[in-house]
Amino acid sequence: MKTKTAIEMKSDGCEDYGLGSLENDDKSLIRKIDWQILPIMFLTYFLQMIDKISINYANVMGIQEDLGLVGNDFSWLATAFFIAYALAELPQGALLQRFPVSKVLGVNVLCWGIILCCSSATKNFAGMLALRVLLGMMEAVIAPALTIYTSMWYTRAESTPRYGLWYCGLGAGQIIGGLISFGAQHAPTSISFGGWRIMFVVIGAVNVLVSLLVIFVLPETPEKAKFLTQSEKERVAQRLQNDQAGVGMKVFRWKSVLEAFVDLQTWLLVLLTILITIPSGVITTFSSILIKGFGYDSKQSALLNMPSGVVSILATMLSTYAISKGFSRWLAIDLLLLPTLLGSCLMSFLPTSNRGGCLAGIYLVNTTVAPLALIYAWTGANFKGYTMKVAGTTLVSAGFSIANIIGPQTFQAKDAPQYLPAKTTLVAVNAAAIVISTALRIMYGVRNATADRLGAPARSSMEARLAGRSNVQDVHDDSDFRYVY
């Protein structure tokens, strides 16, 4: 007679283990996982944010004068990064499909740390442009890698606040980046190695150190996690299977790629990402120079940019916590976009002499970063199987980079110092994002209602057409699958 393991008896809810005991054990297990992986995931997202905004702070620290930048050269440094970011999404997605997520992520963190250190030695626009392109190629991995990795460990209800926790690295990057910029600007002016160069070396060196944590400490999968017992590993797998969550078997399927590419939800999520990220991209790259345009000096601009990070963190944590308690994702996005819309209007239509109102506008626009965490959570929850998740997150990340290509190009030198076209663009895209978020909710609701009527899994028309044509599966049993919204 086969003897049941402790974990099997727990899952049966039999006399030795009540449901309360099982729930307590699950909470203990999740806390154990949280402490092992979330700090490292937070650090990687924090550092890539620092990398991105380092060029923002360098802009008020003399990089334009030191490198002889003229006209729209600085805008092109920001744009080139995200062109490379977009183009690198597909090859990075292929690496995530073939190799362990943690190893792909760690090697990329190592490479972008080295590249950032090298940026301190550039002498002209061409050299900095080349390094920004390489940096964009390396950082393209971050969102797909962390989205897929989160899906490996948590159920769909648990994953949203975890997306929020590592995504708070963005707000922390804005805060710490301001302090780094402020400190670097106090470097002695007598030395040839200017403050922005010191900033690049420090940030790059920290990236190299954190890459070692990602490569050697972050487990490849729950099955290979040394900090979990065998029964805990089995429980993680069982919980994900019961929830139709996780990534399933790591098997490449062309039909899953096709399903992702022709699924309406993919392109609505990509469009929503673009509309939400244009304001975020503008603020990330140009907030310091905008604040300086209100009449502050470079040191004051660095410090006054820090509250933006506080707004980002609060918006992200409040929205993801609300969703973990049952609040609708689409409604949370719409509500977050309202203060963003108000902030855009304040930035666009108030005179720069009203410094308090303009600063409030910049801070409010930063609520737009929180919906992106919810989009990552949507993608992780509503795309089934490893291949489809890789394809979906890669396309969403490409949308993120496209928005960041568009955003900086709305800032043209001829429009300085008001930059009115760029500011009015923020108003328009925020209003459109509210419409797209609502459309996603309607689409998911219709698909779930159809699935309930047919007694079938919720899916796109292409998934239904291709269902059963292949014996190769990379997903768990999805007969009860429903979209979350």
**CATH code for the domain of 253:** 1.20.1250.20
- pTM of the predicted structure, to 2 decimals: 0.78
Number of domains, the chain: 1
Q: CA 420 to CA 262: how far, in whole Å? A: 37
pLDDT given at position 8: 42
pLDDT given at position 217: 93
Q: Could you list the residue range(s) of the whole structural domain that residue 45 is in? A: 20-466
Q: CA 5 to CA 23: how far, in whole Å? A: 17
pLDDT given at position 175: 87
Low-confidence ranges of the chain (pLDDT < 50): 1-17, 19, 471-477
pLDDT given at position 209: 94
Q: CA 378 to CA 396: how far, in whole Å? A: 11
CB distance 400 to 272 below 8 Å:
no
Q: Residue 131 domain-assigned?
A: yes
pLDDT given at position 37: 94
Q: Residue 147 domain-assigned?
A: yes
pLDDT > 70: percent of the chain:
85
Token pair 């690198």: residue: 88
pLDDT given at position 130: 93
Q: Residue 129 domain-assigned?
A: yes
| Largest pairwise CA distance in the chain | 82
Token pair 């008896």: residue: 9
Between helix 355-365 and helix 264-293 the angle, nearest 10°, is: 150
Cis ω for the linkage preceding 457 (within 30 of 0): no
Q: Residue 15 domain-assigned?
A: no
pLDDT given at position 286: 67
Q: Residue 428 domain-assigned?
A: yes
Sequence-distant (6+) residues with CB within 8 A of 469 are 255
Q: Residue 134 domain-assigned?
A: yes
Q: Residue 209 domain-assigned?
A: yes
Q: Residue 212 domain-assigned?
A: yes
